[in-house]
Amino acid sequence: MFRMALLCALLLAAPSAAVMAQDRDRDKDRGRPGDLTDRLARKLEREARDLHEEVIVHFRKCDCFKDLVRHTREIEKLAGRISKLADDKARPRYVRETLDLIDEEVRHLDRHVRELGREKAIDRRAYDHLRDEIADVGRTLYRLRRELH
């Protein structure tokens, strides 16, 4: 009888421990208001750096290289500004304004990359990888914007 009661207690305790762990993780994400914003800002900065390196390494010989580099350099600079604003706990309005600027640059870059995709002489794997990098930046921008609202 004692073994049966102990077994029932253990079976009931295991799911509740898992639920408590999920609640703790959710509270940790909600914990301090700027934590998730800081992490997303640092992630955006890393992705912008990767995007810039991708353009420099694979598209140096393309005709539109200067435009691509100019946009990726601006995206990288704005991502650094967002990271700094997030570290300084700046007003969300300032971060949103910078997000609008970086979003505009990403759209311009995406337009140039689509034009680049029409050329036949480009490396398709590098092109697809660049499109993935741009999509990563776009997703992080979206998550940051959602976090600030």
Q: Going from the first residue of the chain to its last (149 residues), give the mean pLDDT of each consecutive group of 10, the final group possibly shorter.
A: 60 56 51 75 94 93 91 95 84 88 95 89 90 94 89
Please say whether the beta carbons of 148 and 95 come within 8 A: yes
Tokens 């898992």 -> residue: 18
Give the pLDDT of residue 73.
Answer: 96
In this structure, whether the domain defined by 35-148 belongs to CATH 1.20.1440.60 is answered with yes
Give the pLDDT of residue 140.
Answer: 94
Q: Counting beta carbons within 10 angstroms of the beta carbon of residue 6, is it exposed (0 to 12), middle (13 to 18) or buried (19 or more)?
A: exposed
Q: Can you state the angle between helices 92-117 and 65-87, rounded to 10 degrees?
A: 160
- Cα–Cα dist 60/2, whole Å: 74
Give the pLDDT of residue 28.
Answer: 53
Q: Which pTM value belongs to this model?
A: 0.73
The amino acid at residue 45 is E
Give the pLDDT of residue 33.
Answer: 55
- Cα–Cα dist 136/146, whole Å: 15
